[in-house]
Each structure stands twice: as structure tokens, then as C-alpha cells.
């Protein structure tokens, strides 16, 4: 929306009244999005909502500057960001923590390198799927690196990988 763009321009320029207006306008939406994720998990919804606002303005509004109005409305984008922060908080709080000194050495062991390759039947995967799997598993390339090499979006690489893995699981009998 045009109004969103104007509001964001003032906000990103460091205009304090724009920030206050932004918080007043979207705090209910952010609280609702967080509440839907957290439910009755015993986690303070207001703390997570505050965390959302901190992340939005952190590093000179780095996250907020990533908002693309051509991909989603501001309300939709903020809902997604809020839900993501809530999920991160839940994951972080549920993860068992202990000092590294108390962690058994075996937990740091790396599995031996498996050199045996799986024979993938011809025609099971598309040429692009085969290429993406080769780049990920044989060349140890990162998704961003593969995307740059193939001149496609990183999400396309992730999607191609996912579809290839689904085909492989279906063929070899593992449930997705």
C-alpha cells in the first residue's frame, strides 16, 4: 500500500513519531500473531512481541529494510516475521542447555565419510534435480552458492532439492 511505503520511509529515516505510529498501528497484529504460535505455552507473549520490535529496528532497521511490497502486504510480512520470532523463542527455550564441559565427547564425534554412492535409476530425477544434488552432496556447496552458479533464486534451489528428496524417498521406500 502507498501509505505503508510512506510510513516506512519516515520510519527508516529515523523519524521518532513514525516509529511511535508504527508501534501503535502494528502492536496488536504482532501480539495476535505471537499469541497464535505460543498459545498457552507459559511464555510471555509481550516479551516475544517486544523481541519482534527489537529485531525490526536492530542494525539500523536491517530486517525492516528487507520488506518487499511486491511480494506481500506489510501486515502479512509482519505476521510472518512475528511468527518466526515466536517459533525461534520456543525452540530456544525448549532446547536443553548444559555447559560444554559436561557434554560427552561422543556427542562431538563426526560420522565416518561414507564413500558408497546410491545408484539412482535413470529418469527418476530431472537433470536439474541431479545437478542440485551433486552440487550439495558431492561438491559441498551452499544453497546461495548454487543459486549464484545456476543463476536462479535460492528458494528455487531449496525447492528443487526438496522435490528430488521426495522422489528418492518414494522410490527407496522411506516415508517423507
Spatial distance between the Cα atoms of 83 and 89, rounded to a whole number of angstroms: 10
- Predicted local confidence at residue 3, as pLDDT: 62
CB-count burial class (<10 Å; 0-12, 13-18, 19+) for 173: exposed
Please tell me the predicted confidence (pLDDT) of residue 128. 94
Report the 10 Å Cβ neighbour count for 154: 14
Highest CATH level, class, for 2-94:
mainly alpha
Task: Determine the average pLDDT of the residues in 96-106.
Answer: 72
Residues of the chain above pLDDT 70, percent: 86
Largest CA distance in the chain: 62
Q: Which CATH number is associated with domain 118-172?
A: 1.10.10.10
Cell of 57: 529496528
Q: Provide the 8-state DSSP code for 118.
A: P
Predicted confidence (pLDDT) per residue in 16-43, tens digit: 898 899 999 999 999 999 999 988 766 7
What per-residue confidence (pLDDT) applies to 78?
Answer: 94
What is the overall mean pLDDT for the chain? 85
66: cell is: 528487507
C-alpha cell at 14: 529515523
pLDDT digits (tens, 9 = 90+) for 45-81: 999 999 999 999 888 888 888 888 888 889 999 999 9
Q: Please choose, from the candidates 20, 21, 46, the residue with its C-alpha nearest in 3D space to the C-alpha of residue 32.
A: 46
pLDDT at position 114, please?
55
Task: Report if pTM > 0.75.
Answer: no
Domain boundaries, the chain: 2-94, 118-172
Amino acid at each position: 500500500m502507498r501509505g505503508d511505503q510512506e510510513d516506512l520511509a519516515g520510519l527508516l529515516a529515523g523519524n521518532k513519531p513514525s516509529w511511535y505510529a508504527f508501534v501503535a498501528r502494528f502492536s496488536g497484529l504482532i501480539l495476535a500473531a505471537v499469541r497464535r504460535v505460543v498459545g498457552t505455552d507459559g511464555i510471555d507473549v509481550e516479551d516475544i512481541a517486544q523481541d519482534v520490535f527489537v529485531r525490526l529496528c536492530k542494525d539500523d532497521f536491517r530486517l525492516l529494510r528487507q520488506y518487499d511490497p511486491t511480494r506481500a502486504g506489510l501486515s502479512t510480512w509482519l505476521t510472518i516475521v512475528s511468527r518466526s520470532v515466536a517459533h525461534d523463542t520456543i525452540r530456544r527455550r525448549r532446547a536443553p542447555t548444559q555447559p560444554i564441559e559436561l557434554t560427552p565427547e561422543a556427542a562431538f564425534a563426526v560420522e565416518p565419510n561414507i564413500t558408497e554412492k546410491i545408484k539412482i535409476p535413470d529418469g527418476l530425477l530431472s537433470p536439474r534435480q541431479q545437478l542440485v544434488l551433486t552440487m550439495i552432496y558431492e561438491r559441498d556447496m551452499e544453497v546461495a552458492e548454487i543459486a549464484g552458479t545456476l543463476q536462479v533464486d535460492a528458494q528455487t534451489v531449496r525447492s528443487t532439492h526438496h522435490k528430488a528428496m521426495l522422489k528418492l524417498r518414494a522410490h527407496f521406500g522411506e516415508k517423507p
